[in-house]
Amino acid sequence: MPASIRVKLDADGGHGSEARGARLGLVGFGAPPSKTEPGSPKPAELVFHAGFLTEVRGAAEPEPVEVARCSGQLVLESADLRPVFVFDGEPWLTHAQDEDPEQAPYRQLALRWDSASFRAPPPEDLRLRLPPPPEGARYVELSAALSVEGSDEAAVETSDRLDLPLRPIGVVAVETELWKGRMPYLEDPRMFRVGLSAIFGDAIPAAAIEALRQDLLTERFVPPRFVTVRELEDDVHGYYHEGTVHLDEALVLSAKDVPEDRWTLFLVMVEEFGHYLDDQLRRRYSTVGGDAHGDEGSMFAADFIHYNKLVDSDLAFGTFELDDGFEHGVHEYRLDPAHPDLETKAKQLLYVEDQLADQGEVTLPSGQKVRVEFFKIRGGGAVHEDITKWAAILAGIDYGTSLDEGCAWPDVPCSDEDSVETCYYNTWRTLHDEGTLANRSHYGDLQYWHSMAPAGKHTNGEVVDLIVKQLRKWFQAALDQDEIFHVGKMLHTVQDSYSRSHVIRKESKSEELHTKKVVKFQAYDAQDAHKHGEADKIQKGGIWKIPGALDARKASVEILKMYKRKATLDELETFLRETVYPFAPGAKDAEAGGSHQDYRPDWD
C-alpha cells in the first residue's frame, strides 16, 4: 500500500531576508493509504495557503488563508512509486483574490519546482501573489495542501510550513547629494547673495545667506531628509514639511523605467530642496520667518538647472533602494538628455507665476494634517489659454492648437518675429541674453507686446502707437496667410492690458470696455517679479474672479469676430484706440513706466 504524499517546502534564493520564494518537491512519507495508484494518473490540485506572524517563535499559530491553486494530474511512477505532478497548463495559478489596482505593489514569491516531482512546470517567472498582510506582520508562513480527486491527500494542517520574512516594500530608502558642487555662484559671495535674494526675497539678511554659503563650502550644511509617501492627489508629486521632502512613491517607482517620470522626479526633488532652503534661511540662519512670495521652489529649480546646464544632461541625481514585492536592489537614477524633449523641459522650467497657489493640506504618515508647499504639474499661461478658449466659443471660432500656441507666443517667441510656432527651449536658454527676441520681449524694447512700457522713455500715447502698429501688422499677416496663429499673438497683448500689474486703469462701475480708461502703462523692471504674477493668479473663485479677466474676454471676442469677418485694419485700429486703450484725462501725454505700489519691490 503506497504511503500518502506530502508537499515539501524549502526556502529558495537564499536564507533569511535574502529568500525570494519556495522550492517545492513531493515525498511519499505520509501515513498510508494514498489516494493515488501506480501508473494511474488522477486529477489533483496544489493549494497554497499563507498566514502572517509578528514573531517566528512564541507567537500564536496564524490562521491560514487560501492564496492560489494550480491543477494537474498526480501519478506514481517507476518501481519506487515516485509521486509526479503533471501540470495541466495555463492558467498556471488561479489566485483566490483578484488583483486590486489600488493595492500595489503586492509582495510576491518565486516558485521553483523539483524536476523529479513535477512535469511540464510553469515558467520560471511565475509569481505567487500574497494578500496584503495585517498591520504589524513581519513574517509570512507558507504551506501547500494537496488534493486528489477532490479529497485531501495532504491537508494544510499536516503539510510542510515555510516561514519567510516580510521585507519593506516599495521605496526603502532615498539618497541624494544633487546640490553638492552645483549651488549657483557658490564661490562668489556677491553673486550667491544676489541670486538667493532674487529667489527667496530681500527680507532674508545678507548675513544669513553668507552663513549658508560657508556651511555649503565647508560641508557643514545639513540637507533635508528625503522620504516617500503614498496616496497623494493625482497631480501632486511631492511636498516639503519641517526638514523633510516627501516624494510620491508611485512616481519614484515608475521613474525607474520611464525617463519622462525620472525628469519629473528630478524637478520635484530640486524644487522641494528650494523650499527647504527658504525655510532654513528664514528659521535656522535667521529669524525673519514667513515665506517667500510666489513659488520660490520653482524659481530655484529653474535657476539651478540653467546654471548647471542640466536640461540636456545625463546627471545621476540619486540612488533609490527599491523593493517591488519580489526584487530588491539599489538603483542609480540618471536624467535622459532626450526624454522628454528640450521643448517640453523648457516649457516646464520657464518661470510663470502659479495660477494656483502651490499650497494645500496633506495628511502626514502620523495622521497629522498640515499645510505645506507642494510640487504639482502645472502649465504656464493657463490664464491666457482659458480666456482665449471661452472667447473663441463666444465668437463662433474653433479653438485649436494654432490659436492656443499663438496666444502663448509673446511669452515664448522664436527668433523670427513672423514665425508661427512657439520656442520654449530657445526662450529658456536666451531669456537673459541681451538682444535676443525673448529678452527684448520680457525686459527690453518689445515689452509693449505685453501691454507694458518698453525700455527707454515713452509717453503712454507712444506706447499705444507701438501696440497698434504691431497689432495691425499681425492682423494683416493673419488675413494674408489665413493663419489664426497671428491673432493669438494679438489676443495675448490685449488680454495683458487688463492685468492690474501691466496697465493702471481708472476704476469704473460700468461693464462697457470703453469706460476702463488707461492711466499708465507700467514697467516690468520697476516691479517685484513675484508680486507682478500675483495679479494674474487664479484663486479659489476661479479665473473669472481675477480682476480684468472678463474685460479681457470681451475684447478678445470682438477681435476674433473681426478676424472672422475679415475687418479692415482701420476698423481694428479704431477698436483698439477707442475701446481697448482709451485714455483717462491727461494720461496720453504722461510718461509711461514705473509701477503701482502693490507691485513694487519691498525695498523701493
Which of the 8 DSSP states describes residue 236? E
Give the residue-averaged pLDDT of 129-149: 89
Q: Tell me the three cell numbers of residue 238.
A: 511631492
C-alpha distance across the termini of the chain, in Å: 101
The tens digit of pLDDT for each residue in 427-467 reads 767 777 888 888 898 888 999 999 999 999 999 999 999 99
| pLDDT averaged over every residue in the chain | 84
Does the pLDDT at position 338 exceed 50?
yes
User: What SS3 class is residue 51?
Assistant: strand
Does the pLDDT at position 585 exceed 80?
yes
Q: Tell me the three cell numbers of residue 307.
A: 546654471
**Cis amide leading into 365 (omega within 30):** no
Is the dihedral angle over the CA atoms 92, 153, 161, 14 positive or is it negative?
A: negative
Give the residue-averaged pLDDT of 67-71: 94
The per-residue pLDDT for 326 is: 63
Cα–Cα nearest to 224, from 168, 190, 184, 270: 270
Q: Among 7-21, 47-61, 119-133, 334-348, which is the least confidently predicted range? A: 7-21
Query: 160 and 7 in contact (C-beta within 8 Å)?
Result: yes
The per-residue pLDDT for 30 is: 53
Does the pLDDT at position 357 exceed 50?
no
Q: Tell me the three cell numbers of residue 132.
A: 496584503
* Distance between CA atoms of residues 545 and 289, nearest Å: 30
Indicate the pLDDT class of residue 232, thresholds 50, 70 and 90.
confident
* Distance between CA atoms of residues 545 and 550, nearest Å: 8
User: What SS3 class is residue 321?
Assistant: strand
What residues contact 134, with CB distance under 8 A and at least 6 apart? Answer: 52
Is the dihedral angle over the CA atoms 562, 567, 569, 575 positive or is it negative?
A: negative
**Vertex 84 angle, CA 78 and 90, to 5°:** 145
Does the pLDDT at position 544 exceed 80?
no
Higher-confidence residue of 536 and 52: namely 52
* Distance between CA atoms of residues 314 and 238, nearest Å: 22
The tens digit of pLDDT for each residue in 407-424 reads 888 888 877 777 767 777
* Distance between CA atoms of residues 409 and 420, nearest Å: 8
Indicate the pLDDT class of residue 313, thresholds 50, 70 and 90.
very high
Indicate the pLDDT class of residue 293, thresholds 50, 70 and 90.
low
The per-residue pLDDT for 372 is: 45
The per-residue pLDDT for 562 is: 97
Higher-confidence residue of 213 and 102: namely 213
The per-residue pLDDT for 210 is: 95
* Distance between CA atoms of residues 580 and 521, nearest Å: 13
| Alpha helices in 183-258, H assignment, sequence order | 189-200, 206-217, 249-255
Q: Among 377-381, 571-575, 594-598, which is the least confidently predicted range? A: 377-381
* Distance between CA atoms of residues 37 and 78, nearest Å: 12
Q: Tell me the three cell numbers of residue 387.
A: 480666456
Measure Cα distances from 205 to 192, 208, 528 in Å: 13, 5, 18
Give the residue-averaged pLDDT of 118-133: 88
* Distance between CA atoms of residues 518 and 125, nearest Å: 72
Query: 318 and 269 in contact (C-beta within 8 Å)?
Result: yes
One-letter identity of residue 320: F
pLDDT > 70: percent of the chain: 85
One-letter identity of residue 169: I
How many CB atoms are closer than 10 A to CB 231?
10
Highest mean pLDDT among 149-163, 185-199, 572-586: 572-586
Q: Tell me the three cell numbers of residue 247.
A: 516624494
- Cell 501725454: give the residue: 589
The per-residue pLDDT for 365 is: 52
Highest mean pLDDT among 12-16, 120-124, 385-389, 519-523: 519-523
* Distance between CA atoms of residues 539 and 40, nearest Å: 77
Indicate the pLDDT class of residue 38, thresholds 50, 70 and 90.
confident
The per-residue pLDDT for 336 is: 94
The per-residue pLDDT for 32 is: 58
What pTM was estimated for this model as a whole?
Answer: 0.59
SS3 content of the chain, % helix, strand, coil (to 5): 35, 25, 45
Element (H or E) spanning 553, and its range?
helix 549-564
Does the pLDDT at position 376 exceed 50?
no
Instruction: Tell me the Cα Rg of the chain.
Output: 34
